[in-house]
Amino acid sequence: MVTKTEESELNNLEIQVDNGGGGAWEYLSLVRKLKQRRSGKVLKHGLSILNDSKLRSNLGPEEWSLYEQVAVAAMDCQCVDVAQDCAKVLRKRFPESKRVGRLEAMLLEAKGSWEMAEKAYTSLLEDNPLDQTIHKRRVAMAKAQGNISGAIEWLNKYLEIFMADHDAWRELAEVYLSLQMYKQAAFCYEEVILAQPTVPLYHLAYADVLYTLGGLENVQTAKKYYASAIDLTGGKNTRALFGICLCTSAIAQLTKGKNKEDKEGSQLQSLATKALEKDYKQRAPDMLPQLTTALKSLTVSS
C-alpha cells in the first residue's frame, strides 16, 4: 500500500516532469517501484526517453525494464502499435524469455484475441504453474469478456494455490456481491479479516454483508463488526455508526424485546446516536433534522 508520503513524492515529481523540470527517469522508476499505473504519463515520458538514443543508452540494463513498462502503459492507453513495437524489441533481445512471452500474451488480450491469449497463458503456466501474474491475467481476461462465472472459477483456482493473497479474496468477495451471492461473499471477507484484522474497511464490508443476509445471528454479528470498525477508526466511521443503529433496531424487532443484551444494546445505540448527532452538527448542521427523523424511524432516540 502506498503511503501518503510516497504519493506526495510521486505527485511532486510528476508535476516537475510535466513542467519540463527534468527527472523523467526518476519519475518512471518511482511509478514502477510503487506499482502505480499512471499509464498516460508513463507512455508520454517513457517514449521521450526511448526515442532519444543518448538518453536510452544511459539507462544501461534498465532500458529493458522501461520498454516493458511503456508496453504495458501503451496497452492501457489502447496504443497497440506502440506496445507491439516494444514487445518486438524485447523479443529480439530476449528470444527465450517467458516474461516477454507473458507480455506478448497481454498484447493478444489488448487486441481482443481471447482464444490466442488463453492458449499462450496455458502454455506459459505449463512451464511455471506458480506464476501469479498469469493466473491474475486469466481472471482479468474473463472479466473483460463479461464472463463472471469464469472469473469466479479462475479466482477460486488461484486461491487454492495462493491462499494468503487477501487482495484476491477481496476481489472474489466483490464479484460474489455483484451476483448477490452474500454467503459466499461473507466467507471471503472472513478470510480477508483473518489476513488483515486491523483494516476497518474490511470489518465494515463484512458487517454490511451480514446485515444484508439478515436473521438474528447474522445481525448480532454484524453489530459487533460495525462496533469494531468504529473502534478501529476512533469513532469516526459514520457508516458504521448508522450500522449500529440499524442492527439495534433489527434485533429489537426480531426478538420482540426479549433480547438478553438489551441493556448493552441500548448503551451502544445511545453512544452511536450521540456520535452521529455531534458529527452532523459539525459537518452538516442543515441535515440534522433529517438525521433526527431517520433515527426516530429506527426507534433510536437521543
**What digits encode the pLDDT tens for the residues 17-68?**
999 999 999 999 999 999 998 999 999 999 999 999 999 999 999 999 999 9
Cβ–Cβ under 8 Å, residues 206 and 225: yes
The residue behind cell 543508452 is 57
The DSSP call for residue 215 is S
**What digits encode the pLDDT tens for the residues 106-164?**
999 999 999 999 999 999 999 999 999 999 999 999 999 999 999 999 999 999 999 99
- Mean pLDDT along residues 234-246: 91
Confidence label for 8 from pLDDT (cuts 50, 70 and 90): very high
Confidence label for 1 from pLDDT (cuts 50, 70 and 90): confident
Q: Is 163 helix (H, G, I), strand (E, B) or coil?
A: coil
pTM of the model: 0.82
The residue behind cell 480477508 is 192
The CA-based dihedral angle spanning residues 126, 113, 103, 130, taken in that order and rounded to the nearest 10 degrees: -30
- Mean pLDDT along residues 242-257: 87
pLDDT value at position 301? Answer: 41
pLDDT value at position 300? Answer: 44
pLDDT value at position 249? Answer: 87
**What digits encode the pLDDT tens for the residues 254-293?**
887 665 555 566 777 878 888 888 888 888 888 888 888 8
pLDDT value at position 43? Answer: 97
Q: Is residue 225's pLDDT more than 90? A: yes
**What digits encode the pLDDT tens for the residues 148-184?**
999 999 999 999 999 999 999 999 999 999 999 999 9
Among candidates 114, 113, 66, which has minimal Cα distance to 90? Answer: 66
pLDDT value at position 236? Answer: 85
pLDDT value at position 85? Answer: 96
Cβ–Cβ under 8 Å, residues 49 and 55: yes
